[in-house]
């Protein structure tokens, strides 16, 4: 970790420690930077790439938010400050669970990928209430393996939908862009697609939509 004009610069090793990510995950994120809008290198120090820590964290939190939104057909609460710590009730809302019972079960028997609490509140009864940072819950929602159990992504998709973004007007726009630009990469198409809707959607969102359009070129 380096200090530079008020910035905190992180090497990949620093990012691995601070954000609890593996080396292969960090490498994959960097390799896919044309599609996922990975922040550019801020400085190269002694031959080692460093990134602005605040910029990288903000980008990664948004990426997890986008992936979480795409990975579930429940209605998870993906708003709020990524670093805010929330208790079981809000954690359930973040993950799209029906109630906090699932979170209570996960505390005792955590599924793959369920994050460790970041802190605890001391209750008058003497019990401790766990709290998690929102971004870690977003990460769990985005990457969770379960299908059909209480906390996992429910089986199937919204009624009438058999693949991601089916029936979404953005999927139609993505198909049109692919048809008009055969051989183009997602990273080349995303800037123009971002200009086609009244609301501006992030690069990770358009990347997911384009991937669905490539897999399902026709209705």
Residues 6+ apart with CB under 8 A from 27: 12
Lowest mean pLDDT among 60-69, 126-135, 181-190: 60-69
Q: Is the pLDDT of residue 111 over 80?
A: yes
pLDDT bin (cut points 50, 70, 90) of residue 199 is: confident
* Helices 203-215 and 169-180: angle between axes, nearest 10 degrees: 70
In a domain, 161, yes or no: no
Residues 127 and 151 grouped into a single domain: yes
In a domain, 144, yes or no: yes
In a domain, 163, yes or no: no
pLDDT bin (cut points 50, 70, 90) of residue 72 is: low
Q: Angle 48-35-17 (CA atoms, 0-180°, nearest 5)? A: 40
Q: Would you state the pLDDT for residue 164?
A: 79
| Predicted TM-score (pTM) of this structure | 0.44
pLDDT bin (cut points 50, 70, 90) of residue 149 is: very low
Tell me the C-alpha distance between 92 and 156, whole Å: 21
Q: Would you state the pLDDT for residue 7?
A: 85
Residues 146 and 183 grouped into a single domain: no
Instruction: State the DSSP H helix or E strand holding residue 56, giving kind and residue range, or none if neither.
Output: helix 53-71
As a whole number, mean pLDDT of residues 22-31 equals 88
Greatest mean pLDDT range, 30-34, 39-43, 150-154: 39-43
**Number of residues that make up the chain:** 219
CATH number for the domain harbouring residue 137: 1.10.10
Residues 136 and 176 grouped into a single domain: no
In a domain, 114, yes or no: yes
Residues 177 and 207 grouped into a single domain: yes
Higher pLDDT, 36 or 147: 36
Q: Specify the number of domains making up the chain.
A: 3
Q: Would you state the pLDDT for residue 115?
A: 92
Residue in the structure block whose two tokens are 């929330």: 86
Lowest mean pLDDT among 93-97, 132-136, 198-202: 198-202
Residues 141 and 175 grouped into a single domain: no
pLDDT mean across residues, the chain: 82
| Domain end marker among 19, 37, 65 | 65
Tell me the C-alpha distance between 127 and 85, whole Å: 18
In a domain, 164, yes or no: no
**Structural domain that includes position 144:** 72-156
In a domain, 162, yes or no: no
Q: Would you state the pLDDT for residue 153?
A: 36
Residues 90 and 133 grouped into a single domain: yes
């Amino acid at each position: 970790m380096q200090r530079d004009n008020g910035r905190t610069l992180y090497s990949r090793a620093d990012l691995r420690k601070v954000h609890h990510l593996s080396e292969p995950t960090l490498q994959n994120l960097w390799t896919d930077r044309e599609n996922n809008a990975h922040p550019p290198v801020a400085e190269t120090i002694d031959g080692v790439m460093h990134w602005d820590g605040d910029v990288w964290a903000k980008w990664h939190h948004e990426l997890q938010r986008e992936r979480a939104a795409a990975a579930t057909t429940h209605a998870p609460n993906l708003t709020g400050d990524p670093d805010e710590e929330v208790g079981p009730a809000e954690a359930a809302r973040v993950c799209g669970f029906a109630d906090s019972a699932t979170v209570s079960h996960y505390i005792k028997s955590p599924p793959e990928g369920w994050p460790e609490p970041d802190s605890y509140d001391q209750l008058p009864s003497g019990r401790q209430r766990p709290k998690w940072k929102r971004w870690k819950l977003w990460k769990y929602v985005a990457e969770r393996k379960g299908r059909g159990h209480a906390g996992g992504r429910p089986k199937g998709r919204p009624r009438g939908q058999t693949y991601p973004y089916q029936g979404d007007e953005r999927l139609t726009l993505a198909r049109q862009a692919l048809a008009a630009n055969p051989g183009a990469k997602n990273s080349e198409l995303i800037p123009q697609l971002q200009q086609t809707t009244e609301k501006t959607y992030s690069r990770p969102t358009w990347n997911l939509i384009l991937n669905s359009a490539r897999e399902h070129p026709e209705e």
